[in-house]
Amino acid sequence: MTDPRAVDAAPENGLSDGADESRSGGSRLYPRVTSFRSRRGALTEPQQASWDRMWPGIGREVADEPLDATSWFGRSAPVVLEIGSGTGTAALAMAAAEPHVNLVAVEVYRPGIAQTVQGIEREGLSNLRILRGDAADVLENMVAPGSLAGVRVFFPDPWPKARHHKRRLLKADTFALVADRLEPGGILHVATDHADYAEWIEEVGDAEPALTRLPFDSERRTVEGSSLSVDRPVTKFEGKAQQVGRPTSEFVWGRPSTGATDVAAATITRRESENPLR
């Protein structure tokens, strides 16, 4: 299954369509076996113009510099990370619905990011920023432990073939890393329309000791005890999946408000030594 909202790679700004970043050495877009497919794409003139106007203020490339959300947004507010924001459908809608939240969208596919940039400019959103790069790199090297109010992963690439399962984003290591980065009371919100991947996600997520499954009301779009919204928009891609009888599975886990810090830290340390992400 090809998900147009999956995290994809594209040339850096300034490289020709034929340039191969993976051969240039040291690229932050290709640091390891990734969870995204590599796609190329050029920006339209309006997209490039919007990018030139907006990117210096709202966008950054992944780097080793710790994320200082308060400085970047110009205010102190709960920080939510959306992994694999695609063209920004969910990020734009949820940012508009949650003006009290600082939302950071992580994506690598430049034309998809450009659509998000255009949406930010069009809607005049001041609470949405974009990081371009590998989400695991962001979580490992830019996000401090206990600093996120929420993490959102909507329709990640399922990599359905067994030999490709190692590329799946939502593995035990990732759950442990997310749990460590969540603040007490923070939540992880995941959605997928791939049945096999849903079973995988449910099993691995429930096995993470630093996270607790929270009751999710799919009709009312609420999670008891969470101040963050779980009311995401239904995109065209998801709508088509529903029309052919492919339902969406949705999960929410929370980091308990007390007693989770030591468990999360110990778990991530053990798993990094046994099976490091890098």
Binding-site residues for substrate, in ranges, read 161, 193, 235-238
Euclidean distance between CA atoms 124 and 243, whole angstroms: 33
Residue 249's CB: how many other CB atoms inside 10 A? 16
Radius of gyration for the chain, computed over Cα atoms and rounded to the nearest angstrom: 18
Q: Which of 85, 68, 81 is nearest to 8 (CA)?
A: 85
Please, are residues 204 and 246 in contact by the beta-carbon 8 Å criterion? no
Residue labelled with tokens 């029309």: 243
The whole-angstrom separation of Cα 95 and Cα 129 is 10
The SS3 call for residue 145 is: coil
- 56's CB contacts (< 8 A; 6+ apart) are none
Q: Which helix (H) or strand (E) holds 253?
A: strand 249-254
Report the alpha-carbon distance of residue 178 to residue 264 in Å, rounded.
9
Token pair of 53 as six digits: 């106007």
Which residues make up each annotated binding site? 82, 107, 134, 157, 161, 193, 235-238
Catalytically annotated residue among 157, 173, 217, 231: 157
Distance CA(180)–CA(139), nearest Å, equals 10
Which residues sit opposite 153 in a β-bridge? 83, 190
Active-site residue 157, yes or no? yes
Annotated binding site for S-adenosyl-L-methionine: 82, 107, 134, 157
CA neighbor of 210 nearest in space, from 271, 266, 155: 266
CB-based contact 148:79 (threshold 8 Å):
yes
State how far the Cα of 219 lies from the Cα of 213, in Å rounded to an integer: 18
Q: Which residues are catalytic?
A: 157
